[in-house]
Structures are given as structure tokens and as C-alpha cells.
């Protein structure tokens, strides 16, 4: 079981940002992710920096820890410009970048560019085109594409990614179309549990929800004759009524139940005081340093 963390892009780099990312590496986290939003929910009226510039700075400040978005979406991204930025961050990090990517949702990101928020079907349609185009842009030195939503004309991405054939995609998906995209393009699958939210799912049922989701992913893999064992299975915590950060023992029990459900990587939110991600920092650090040995 791998442990990773997601660090919100809320810190001034010189004041605290560099220190936080370096501390995450010192604690032994496998990957340091950040949200790729223009702003986010209860943090909307506070500091919030760009994901890819933050990861670029983190790449220069760390040496071993992988880095990634969790998650990027088509809400305000275009595959042509995104591909160029991803290749650059992959180069600066020495091949340590993972792209967490999904269809996106409602909220500020969905309307910030002046458009009406897309329906779930429209988001799925766009994502179904966005991901294949991005795959093409990251694997071919010169790419052309003409689709319903996106175009790429003689786009050059030389020399390409450090990681070959491209940076890994960690695809966030729960529905059938998303699972099909994960099976075809993903190197990892991301879930945060039941999309219904914490009020709808009893704590004792949460791992079973994820297990049933993975069953659907296995079906999607079987349809294209892909071994689902090739995919890492990533759980982003914080969207259920579970409380794994209350103690080391609570986390080990939590992680063990999700390991049985097929999860191979758990992502914990870096504690943010006076927020929905508030947590005891000492307990958090104990989990980071002591839990992996108990889960091996």
C-alpha cells in the first residue's frame, strides 16, 4: 500500500510552500498531488495558486517524490496547451509527473470562462474526446486532430515526455464511459468513494462501494482484453464520513479495509487548520512514517 498526499495550492512559495513540499518528501510520501482548480469551495475567498506552476516549483525543490494533479479536467483546460505544459513539468521533475485527470464537475471552474456549466452528459462527451487527444499529443512528435470539441493542427511536442511512451494518466471515473477510458488510457484509476457524498453512505459500507466500482473497471478492462492488474487503484480520502486521521490505529484499520477492496494507493489531504481538512499534524506525521510498515 502506497501513501500519498494532496497539498492544496494555497501557500505563498517563499513563505511556506517550499517547506511544505519538502516536508512531504521527508515524510516518505510516494506522490505529492495538488488540486487543479481555479478556486475551490470553502477556499474560494482565500489564496489559491495555479497547479502546474506549483508542481514546477515543487519539482525543483524535491528530488524523489512523484508529483501530480488530482485532478485536471476539461473545464478550463485545452489539450494542446496542457500537453506542452505537462511535457515541461515532466522534464523539470526528471520524469516524476503523474497526470490525475477526470471529466470535471460543476462549480466555479465550470463557469469561470463565461460558459454555462455543462451537463453530466456534455462533460462525459468532452472528456471522451479530451483524453484521446491528450494521449496523441503526448506520444507523437507532430499531431493533428479535428474533432467535435477540440482541434490540433501540426502541433509539435518535441522532444516529448521524459517518461515513455508518455507521463502516466491516473483517471478519475465512476461511470461506465469513464471506466472505459480508464481501461484504454489509464495507468491508474482514481476514486473518492460514492459520488452521493458522506451523508448518503454509512461508514461501514464505504469500502464495499469502492469494491463494486472496481468490479465495473474489471469489466471495462475485459472488453478490450486488458489485465486490470496493470492499473494502480488510488483512493482520494476526505469525501466520506470516515475519519482515518483520528489516530494511527484508526488509519491502519481504514487502510486495511481498502486494501481488501483492491486499493493500492491512499491519498491524504495535507492538514489545513480551520478548514474541512483540519487534522492533528503530529498524528498525520505518525501515519506517514509508521503506517506503511504496518500495511506491508
Residues in the chain: 296
Whole-number percent of the chain with pLDDT over 90: 95
Distance from the first to the final alpha carbon of the chain: 7
C-alpha distances out from residue 152 to 22, 31, 79, 115, 134, Å:
37, 31, 9, 22, 10
pLDDT at res. 156: 97
Q: Are 98 and 31 in contact (CB under 8 A)?
A: yes
Q: What is the pLDDT of residues 153-192, one digit of tens each?
A: 999 999 999 999 999 999 999 999 999 999 999 999 999 9
Residue 20 makes CB contacts below 8 A (sequence gap 6+) with 7, 11, 270
Give the whole-angstrom CA distance, residue 67 versus residue 49.
16
Burial (CB count <10 Å: 0-12, 13-18, 19+), residue 154: exposed
> Would you state the CATH architecture of domain 2-295?
Alpha-Beta Barrel (3.20)
Q: Delimit the domains of the chain by residue range.
A: 2-295
pTM reported for the whole predicted model = 0.96
At CA 184, angle to CA 151 and CA 122, rounded to 5? 50
Answer yes or no: are the C-beta atoms of 41 and 62 closer than 8 Å: no
Question: Could you report the per-residue pLDDT of 213-265, keeping only the tens digit for each?
Answer: 999 999 999 999 999 999 999 999 999 999 999 999 999 999 999 999 999 99
Task: Tell me if 88 sits within 8 A of 65, measured CB to CB.
Answer: no
Distance (Å, whole) CA 272 – CA 278: 5
- Is the confidence at residue 196, as pLDDT, over 80? no
Beta 188-191 vs 97-101: how paired, if at all?
A: unpaired
| Grid coordinates given for 228 | 486490470
Amino acid at each position: 500500500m502506497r501513501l500519498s498526499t494532496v497539498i492544496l495550492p494555497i501557500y505563498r512559495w517563499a513563505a511556506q510552500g517550499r517547506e511544505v513540499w519538502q516536508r512531504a518528501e521527508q515524510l516518505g510520501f510516494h506522490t505529492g498531488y495538488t488540486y487543479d482548480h481555479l478556486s475551490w469551495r470553502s477556499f474560494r475567498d482565500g489564496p489559491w495558486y495555479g497547479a502546474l506552476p506549483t508542481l514546477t516549483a515543487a519539482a525543483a525543490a524535491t528530488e524523489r517524490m512523484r508529483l501530480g494533479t488530482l485532478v485536471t479536467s476539461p473545464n478550463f483546460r485545452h489539450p494542446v496547451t496542457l500537453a506542452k505544459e505537462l511535457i515541461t513539468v515532466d522534464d523539470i521533475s526528471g520524469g516524476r509527473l503523474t497526470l490525475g485527470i477526470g471529466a470535471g464537475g460543476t462549480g466555479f471552474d465550470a463557469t469561470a470562462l463565461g460558459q454555462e456549466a455543462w451537463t453530466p452528459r456534455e462533460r462525459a462527451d468532452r472528456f471522451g474526446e479530451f483524453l484521446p487527444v491528450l494521449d496523441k499529443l503526448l506520444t507523437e512528435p507532430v499531431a493533428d486532430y479535428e474533432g467535435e470539441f477540440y482541434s490540433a493542427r501540426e502541433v509539435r511536442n518535441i522532444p516529448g515526455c521524459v517518461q515513455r511512451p508518455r507521463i502516466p494518466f491516473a483517471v478519475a471515473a465512476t461511470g461506465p464511459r469513464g471506466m472505459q477510458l480508464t481501461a484504454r488510457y489509464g495507468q491508474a484509476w482514481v476514486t473518492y468513494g460514492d459520488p452521493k457524498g458522506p451523508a448518503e453512505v454509512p461508514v461501514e459500507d464505504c469500502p464495499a462501494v469502492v469494491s463494486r466500482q472496481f468490479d465495473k473497471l474489471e469489466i471495462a478492462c475485459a472488453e478490450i482484453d486488458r489485465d486490470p492488474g496493470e492499473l494502480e487503484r488510488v483512493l482520494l480520502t476526505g469525501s466520506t464520513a470516515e475519519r482515518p486521521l483520528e489516530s494511527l490505529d484508526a488509519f491502519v484499520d481504514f487502510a486495511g479495509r481498502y486494501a481488501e477492496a483492491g486499493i493500492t494507493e491512499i491519498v491524504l489531504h495535507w492538514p489545513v487548520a480551520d478548514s474541512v481538512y483540519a487534522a492533528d499534524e503530529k498524528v498525520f506525521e505518525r501515519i506517514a512514517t509508521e503506517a506503511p510498515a504496518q500495511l506491508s
